[in-house]
Amino acid sequence: MQAWQQRALDETNPQAALTALTALARMFPRSFKPVDQDLDTPPPTFSADGAVRNPLQPAVLAALGRLAPASLSKSEKLELLRAYILALYRLGTPDEAARHEHIENLD
């Protein structure tokens, strides 16, 4: 792993972490490539326990999960959601346990 990737995963400053994790997720092509009617609104398919995931996906989602939404500004909350979207599209869907954990964290 490149040094900056590890630094992005370890960042504790919320704004810096959001920027770095978004950049990290954007390095990878989308894992889901919708066509036709699914192009704009891909339906989620769960359970995703057998889904293909990028090896960095658990670490990126864990780093995002350490950011407490209650402690973030409104703009940082929006950035957090954007970072989650990018991570899920580009790194793959989480397994069921992680999915429930992240839903609870964001709820």
For residue range 25-78, what is the model confidence (pLDDT) as tens digits?
998 877 656 666 655 655 555 566 667 778 888 999 999 999 999 999 999 999
Tell me the two tokens of residue 26: 């954007």
The model's pTM: 0.81
Helix 96-106 to helix 57-65 angle (10° resolution) is 20
> What is the rounded CA–CA span in Å between residue 83 and residue 16?
12
d(CA 66, CA 64): 5
**Alpha-carbon distance 83 to 42, whole Å?**
18
**Contact at 8 Å (CB) between 67 and 14?**
yes
* 18 within 8 A of 66, measured Cβ to Cβ: no
Residue 38 is predicted with a pLDDT of 59
